Amino acid sequence: MSAAEPVVTEVSQRPPLGRALLSRRLSTRLLRSELRLIGGRRRNQMGLLVLAAVPVLMAVAVRLSSPREGGGPDFLSSITSNGLFVPLAALTVELGLFLPLAIAMLAGDSVAGEANLGTLRYLLTVPVGRTRLLVTKFGSLVVGALWGVAVVVAAGAVAGIALFGTGPMLTLSGTEISFGAAVWRVVLVSLYIAAGLAALGAVGLFISTLTEQPLAATVAIMIFTILSWIADSVPQISWLHPWLLVDQWMAFGDLLRDPPFWDNVAQGLRVDLGYAVVFGLLAWARFAGKDITS
């Protein structure tokens, strides 16, 4: 082969343009690689352990402090007749700090972490289109949100059912629903909370494109979250509340009414979607033309 002629056999190994390329474009290989990267990281595994430990601790604590028979008030014993209250209680507790922190860490790693390691420039020269990279990163954050919530719920359900059994569940409306129906309610609650966390992930993705320091991004995302909680608790600025991402996060309780009360949940999902779209676009606007000098 002459020096002036690039190797021709290589070209024939490449996929033909057109349909094959389209199917490649929709390939989930990068997303799967991303999830392996997240799941394989020791720190993230430790984080999941912490998320899982909370419901287990709560279940044990409640079990030890509430005698199942005897003359105590009936209310607690009817709650504790169904182990699924454990994951719900754990979600309530962890939604304040641990779950947002988990998303903040993943989001910090997503772009700022890659920039910090320098791997970002190698991904972009593979090449991975910048839009495709952001979409993949956001996809991994959505999966991460589902993952975190699922771990809390699964650990809580296992601990709760082991300690309190599978009796009927007392809804917030005072009626009882069967264990099977209660499982579906818990799944709905999990999806609702994961949607909120995914929206926070979009905020995090944007913040992550602003810096090359993953820790700085994580801290900034937590500051955003905590400021939102604080603002949401100040009645004097109630006009702002409907615009806050966290405002309706705790509305998942409405899914435990009989029948479920949808208004607040729908409002929460609208806000989640709004944040995801706005911050997703901001992240794109920032990242698409950014000079990668890391």
Partner 1 sequence: MTQHLGAPATAGPGVDLAIATRGLTKRFGARVAVDGLELLVPRGSVYGFLGPNGSGKTTTIRMLLGLVRPSAGTSSLLGRPIPQGAQEVLPRVGSLVEGPAFHPYLSGRANLQRLDAADLTADPRTARQRIDAALDRVGLLATAGKRYRAYSLGMRQRLAIAAALLMPRELLVLDEPTNGLDPQGTREVRHLVASLASDGTTVFVSSHLLSEVEQMCTHLGVMSDGRLVAQGSTSEVRGGSAPTARVLTGQPALAARIMSGLGLDDVQTVPGGARGVPDGMAPEAIVAALVEGGVGVREFTVTSPSLEDLFVSLTGEGFDVSG
Binding site for partner 1 (CB under 8 A): 1-7, 9-10, 13-15, 21, 24-25, 27, 29-30, 32-33, 37, 40-42, 117-119, 121-129, 289, 291-293
CB 101 within 8 A of CB 164: no
CB nearer to partner 1: give 124 or 231.
124
CB nearer to partner 1: give 33 or 233.
33
CB 290 within 8 A of CB 131: no
Alpha helices (H) in the chain, listed in sequence order: 8-13, 19-25, 29-40, 42-65, 74-79, 85-94, 98-108, 114-117, 119-124, 130-164, 179-208, 214-232, 263-288
CB nearer to partner 1: give 64 or 126.
126
Cα separation, 141 vs 107, in Å, equals: 7
Residue whose token pair is 């997240």: 38
CB atoms within 10 A of CB 242: 11
Nearest-approach distance from CB 283 to partner 1, in angstroms: 18
Tokens representing residue 294 in the block? 């890391």
Nearest-approach distance from CB 27 to partner 1, in angstroms: 6
Cα separation, 102 vs 45, in Å, equals: 11
- Report which secondary-structure segment, H or E, holds 170: strand 169-170
CB nearer to partner 1: give 81 or 208.
208
Nearest-approach distance from CB 145 to partner 1, in angstroms: 22
CB nearer to partner 1: give 117 or 219.
117
CB nearer to partner 1: give 115 or 283.
115
Nearest-approach distance from CB 219 to partner 1, in angstroms: 22
Residue whose token pair is 């405002």: 247
Nearest-approach distance from CB 10 to partner 1, in angstroms: 3
Nearest-approach distance from CB 44 to partner 1, in angstroms: 11
Q: Cα separations (Å) of 241 from 64, 252, 256, 263, 266?
A: 39, 17, 23, 15, 15
CB 58 within 8 A of CB 139: no
CB nearer to partner 1: give 9 or 65.
9
Nearest-approach distance from CB 280 to partner 1, in angstroms: 20
Spell out the residues 6+ positions from residue 159 whose beta carbon is closer than 8 angstroms to its own. Answer: 55, 56, 59, 60, 83, 86
Spell out the residues 6+ positions from residue 26 whose beta carbon is closer than 8 angstroms to its own. Answer: none
Nearest-approach distance from CB 244 to partner 1, in angstroms: 35
CB nearer to partner 1: give 2 or 65.
2
Tokens representing residue 192 in the block? 């609702």
